[in-house]
Structure 1
Amino acid sequence: MKFSQKVVCGVLKNGNAPPIVHIRENSQQWKQAENDETVGPDMNKRTKRNFTLIELLVVMLLMGVLMTLMLPAFNRMISGNKVDQIASNLKLGLEQAQTQAIGNRRYVALILPHNNQVWSDASVRNYCFGGFRLAFVTQNGTNWEFDEWIPENTWKNSPNGAMLLKIDTATPPATGTALARNDITTALNTALEGNNRLESISNYPPENNPSGSTTRSNCAIIFTPYGGVESSDDLYLYIVEAISDGGNGILFPTRDSQNRPTNYLILSLNQFSGKVDFR
């Protein structure tokens, strides 16, 4: 496109500077060129075209099909992340319990609810098999008595999709191998309750009845004022991808051909130093 131009050249008096050229373009032709649908002589004319209703419906249908196909894999991924989440929460809780014990020069218990029927208080039931809370305790002979909850410390949730199903002192299986069925108790009511690896707490206050008290069996890991653990051996905490079947059984979403759980993490707790590591 041709533009009319007016060129004015001026030379400074000393003659050393190059000429300064001013170009003024015709404003009307410039605006017309901006609004023109042709960009240049060698480019095709641009056309504006909207999507039709049929095209939009086809795209939405394809998106629905893809989401349907990807949803199971997405759910498996989320459930697998719950194992990491509970393991990280428990590791942090154990480290906090040790810090509180050393800092306050007192015994601190990590309370682990483990039985939906025994721990019948509605406010605690959702924290079984992975949730916890910290409390100060006192040793009375061979027994442990509840003193008080650690200030500003509340129950930590146990998300659906994974569970703390076992605490043991035996050396766990090699990393990457499936857990044997006898490594994981399949009845929710006895998953942790029958495990004497944990300490029992007497004078425990019911959540909904502060005036009463009771004894909770095999429910606590206790740290000493020196940072160690009240245990005769190292402890191993099994966190497994698992869900309740609605009764007293446990289902393992990820398992091998022998129905053994394959997605799990194990935390090791040193009895002397109180150090927590991923197995």
Structure 2
Amino acid sequence: MNKRTKRNFTLIELLVVMLLMGVLMTLMLPAFKRMITGDQVQQLSSNLKLGLEQAQSHAITSRRYVALILPNPQMGKNKDQWLGGYRMAYVDRKRSDMKTDETTGKPIFDRTPKWIFKGWVPDTTWKAPVAGAKLLLIVKGDDPSAYDQFKEGESLDITIPAKISAIEMSPLLKINDYIPEADSTNKSDVDHAAIIFSPYGGIIGAPGQSDDYHNLRLAIVECLENGDNLIFPSRDTQGKPTNYLVLEVNRFTGRTKYHQPK
């Protein structure tokens, strides 16, 4: 083999190696991208899972109702903690209030239980949200979307709000006489504010509505803020996010588990 032939052969080998490297990089790029962009989703999911587990454990050991306060636009308070921050608080159950029927003038009882804020769990502070990921949705476990089956790279099969102001957290419970940390005297009632664990470890359903005792599922999504708008860096052709995790809280046991893409 002369020098020219040998040189050509070496160039061919080099081109083949470069081609193979290009193919490998193409195959590895999605996984690498998920590894980088998924950190925030995994971190926030881990934070929330830990918070839920701590709230359940403290409810059992203290023999008290413990609420995991999850600030969001519907709650209206603690804006710096919206969509990912949390803190544990004690709450008490108030069974009913007596009211007067406007038509008959007779006394009636409102049998809907109320949850009264009794103070923060000692030695706890706010757990801050995670930049680049948000808790965007909480649904009841029997929702048709189910979240029971995932395929990697496919979008979250449910409508996700595109604006922060439109985010829906209706399965969260209302807290009465809530006192934000920055205001030690001004009490207020806050809607859609908390997941409450009983002293037996399970979660409390919607007050007065027996059909609302379900598992809860929390969707944590990779997203960025632009004013009131949400931007999903990883999304499908319809704009739905593809980088997410879902946590499920069992209504009876209070245990939390991951639903992850497979």
- TM-score with structure 1 length normalisation? 0.67
Paired position in structure 1 for 2:208: none
Find out whether 1:278 has 2:258 as its counterpart.
yes
Q: Is the 8 A contact 1:112 1:220 kept in 2?
A: yes
CA–CA distance in 2 between the matches of 1:174 and 1:233? 19
- Letter in structure 2 aligned against 1:175: F
| C-alpha displacement of 1:196 | 2.3
Q: Is the 8 A contact 1:200 1:216 kept in 2?
A: yes
Paired residues for 1:65-214 under 5 Å? 77-115=35-73, 118-119=76-77, 124-141=78-95, 142-169=113-140, 170=143, 171-172=146-147, 174-176=149-151, 177-180=154-157, 182=159, 184-192=160-168, 195-214=169-188
Judged with a 3 Å threshold, the aligned counterparts in structure 2 of structure 1 residues 125 and 78 are, in CA distance, closer, same or farther, namely farther
- Letter in structure 1 aligned against 2:94: N
Computing the radius of gyration from Cα coordinates, the structure with the larger value is: 1
Structure 2, unaligned runs of 5 or more: 1-30, 96-112, 206-212
Structure 1, unaligned runs of 5 or more: 1-72
Aligned residues: 199
| C-alpha displacement of 1:260 | 1.2
Paired position in structure 2 for 1:252: 232
For residues 151-198 of structure 1, give each alpha carbon's deviation from its aligned partner in whole angstroms, at most 9, with x where no partner exists: 01100011110000000011226212311461x122212313xx3211
CA–CA distance in 1 between the matches of 2:235 and 2:65? 39
- Letter in structure 2 aligned against 1:154: T
Judged with a 3 Å threshold, the aligned counterparts in structure 2 of structure 1 residues 112 and 274 are, in CA distance, closer, same or farther, namely same
| C-alpha displacement of 1:115 | 1.8
For residues 47-70 of structure 1, give each alpha carbon's deviation from its aligned partner in whole angstroms, at most 9, with x where no partner exists: xxxxxxxxxxxxxxxxxxxxxxxx
Paired position in structure 1 for 2:224: 243
Judged with a 3 Å threshold, the aligned counterparts in structure 2 of structure 1 residues 117 and 215 are, in CA distance, closer, same or farther, namely closer
Judged with a 3 Å threshold, the aligned counterparts in structure 2 of structure 1 residues 140 and 117 are, in CA distance, closer, same or farther, namely closer
Paired position in structure 2 for 1:215: 189
CA–CA distance in 2 between the matches of 1:106 and 1:74? 45
Q: Is the 8 A contact 2:219 2:244 kept in 1?
A: yes
**What is the SS of the residue equivalent to 1:126?**
helix
Q: Spell out structure 1 runs of 4+ moving beyond 4 A.
A: 73-78
| C-alpha displacement of 1:227 | 0.3
The CA RMSD over aligned residues, in Å, is 2.0
- TM-score with structure 2 length normalisation? 0.71
CA–CA distance in 2 between the matches of 1:185 and 1:143? 29
Asked which structure has the greater RCO (Cα within 8 Å, sep 6+), the reply is 2
CA–CA distance in 2 between the matches of 1:97 and 1:162? 22
CA–CA distance in 2 between the matches of 1:104 and 1:225? 7
